[in-house]
Amino acid sequence: METVSELRKKFVAGEYTPTEAIEKSFSVIKEKDSDINAFLEVYEDALEQAKAATDRYIKEGDAAPALLGVPFAIKNNILIKGKKATGASKILENYTAVYDATIIKRLKAAGAIFVGATNMDEFAMGGSTENSAFGPTKNPLDTERVPGGSSGGSAAAVAMGAVPAAIGTDTGGSIRQPASFCGLVGFKPTYGAVSRYGLMAMGSSLDQAGPLTNSVADAELIHGVMAGKDEMDATTLESDSYPEVAVKEKMTFGVPRQFLSDGVDEDVLKVFNQHVAELEAAGHKIVDVDLPIFEKGLAAYYIVMPAEVSSNLARYDGIRYGFSAEGDNLLDVYEKSRAEGFGAEVKRRILLGTHVLSSGYYDAYYGKAELVRKKMRAELNEVFKTVDIILTPTAPTPAFKLGEKSDPLAMYRQDIFTVPVNLTGVPALTFPMGSVEREEKTLPIGVQYIAPHGGDSRLFAAGKAIYDAR
């Protein structure tokens, strides 16, 4: 698969132009997307920008901005001024963004060209992209299967070859799990590394944005463009917010064996063990680690996240923007707009969140979940004293079939290895570690590397040495 770095080299050398690259994106979309449904909208004005970028390369060569002319696909919960931002929800079906998200501004300044908006689970709630109000996305590697979610459209856009890179958001695994299902690199930065200004808020103490790419080097490059302090997001970090995390050539990897002993697909575990063996053969040290509180992460997540969802989604009231139903009085307008505008999963999480935050339940659920988070952070700090990177499969299974997980809890279990990362705010990288066979189809399996807070560069260094150099 094509990488951003290869594309850049060709652009600079004049062997290939941004115009040709965008034309190729459009032709792949035209050929494949009626079946895949990765894109909610294709931006025809990309071609104009590509022509301008082509001219710039002639004049500026290698001095041109790092991402000049590179086609990108953007998850549709990220605001691009003048473009529809739907969050794949009926309630925002006709909403046009009034301003650029900070990450969009930074990508534009680096010369990136947006070819379209990608499909997702409604408001980023789901693990399969089946919760989109505009129909599910299919996995380009096997169209009977889901691409994962919630950034399923972004993952499918890269996997089908329409773009070399896409942007997603990750609240509990929404970049990493689709990357795993589609055979890509996916990165969830340290909480606070990337501004969320202009992103539709889901779980504000958990949300981060990141890239889905074909190489770790590309993920690093794109993250570098998007990351950094932003006055418009008070949670963004200073460069010295966390102590420096050293990058090493030979590392100690911690494997939480107990955590992997239950609920992981047998073939996935085999591929994982093979990966661990390869690391050991390459001279890295492998140790067992114990993360008993980490294992409670999923339960805590499905308290904290819906609580934040119920508050964040209160803004969709049918009054100021978005879908508005006719009603007899104000309350009627609220209740009908929200009832008709939101899909089932969003309603489920709003109800759950309202419940865990209500008087009499708050201490038993929300308070306990926050305690779990605190204990998880302490547990991690302890483990990272002796271990450089914690290793897990990204998801417990390969891509599953459309319609296979109708029980919400079964779907939630997909996130078992990814949510502890968001709850604690540490960074994590996923890349393909192998594949399994299912019904004569080869399905990729991702591995998740977790580093301490601020250890984003350690993950990139490890990923480049282990995945890119394979």
Which residues are known to be catalytic?
Answer: 75, 150, 174
Question: Of these, 31, 44, 48, 332, which contacts other proteins (CB under 8 A)?
Answer: 332
Pick 287 or 364: Cβ nearer other proteins: 364
Shortest CB 231 distance to other proteins, Å = 6
Shortest CB 328 distance to other proteins, Å = 8
Pick 16 or 366: Cβ nearer other proteins: 366
Pick 175 or 313: Cβ nearer other proteins: 313
Q: How far is CA 405 from the centre of its chain?
A: 20
- For residues 127 and 121, the answer to whether their CB atoms sit within 8 Å is yes
CA distance 206 to 440: 38
Question: Of these, 288, 371, 386, 403, which contacts other proteins (CB under 8 A)?
Answer: 371
Question: Of these, 160, 217, 352, 450, which contacts other proteins (CB under 8 A)?
Answer: 352
Touching other proteins, residues 275-304 (CB under 8 A): 293, 296, 299-300, 302-303
Contact status: 355 vs other proteins (CB under 8 A): yes
Shortest CB 97 distance to other proteins, Å = 9
Contact status: 330 vs other proteins (CB under 8 A): yes
Shortest CB 158 distance to other proteins, Å = 31
Touching other proteins, residues 376-395 (CB under 8 A): 377-378
Touching other proteins, residues 6-35 (CB under 8 A): none
Pick 279 or 300: Cβ nearer other proteins: 300
Pick 63 or 314: Cβ nearer other proteins: 314
What is the sign of the dihedral through the CA atoms of 141, 132, 208 and 39?
positive
Pick 348 or 401: Cβ nearer other proteins: 348
Question: Of these, 122, 265, 317, 468, which contacts other proteins (CB under 8 A)?
Answer: 317
Touching other proteins, residues 402-441 (CB under 8 A): 408-409, 412
Binding mask of the shown chain, residues 230 to 269, with x at each position contacting other proteins by CB under 8 A:
-x--xx----------------------------------
Pick 278 or 295: Cβ nearer other proteins: 295
CA distance 242 to 131: 37
Q: How far is CA 308 from the centre of its chain?
A: 18
CA distance 314 to 293: 31
Question: Of these, 252, 258, 354, 457, which contacts other proteins (CB under 8 A)?
Answer: 354
Residues in Cβ contact with 322 at an 8 Å cutoff, skipping those fewer than 6 apart: 91, 92, 94, 95, 316, 337, 341
Question: Of these, 41, 290, 335, 404, which contacts other proteins (CB under 8 A)?
Answer: 335
Shortest CB 335 distance to other proteins, Å = 4
Pick 127 or 318: Cβ nearer other proteins: 318
What is the Cα Rg of the chain in Å? Answer: 21
Pick 39 or 412: Cβ nearer other proteins: 412
- In the block, residue with structure tokens 């992209």: 129
CA distance 260 to 265: 10
Shortest CB 194 distance to other proteins, Å = 16
Per rule CB under 8 A, count of chain residues that contact other proteins: 59
- Comparing C-alpha atoms, which of 87, 47, 89 is closest to residue 69? 47
Binding mask of the shown chain, residues 92 to 121, with x at each position contacting other proteins by CB under 8 A:
---xx-xx----------------------
Residue range at the interface with other proteins (CB under 8 A); choices 44-52, 180-188, 332-340, 389-397? 332-340
Shortest CB 357 distance to other proteins, Å = 9
146: left (phi over 0), alpha (psi -120 to 50) or beta: beta
Token pair for 410: 């079964």
CA distance 311 to 117: 26
Shortest CB 91 distance to other proteins, Å = 11
Residues that bind other proteins (CB under 8 A): 95-96, 98-99, 231, 234-235, 293, 296, 299-300, 302-303, 310, 314, 317-324, 327-336, 338-339, 342, 344, 347-348, 350-352, 354-356, 358, 364-365, 368-369, 371-372, 374-375, 377-378, 408-409, 412
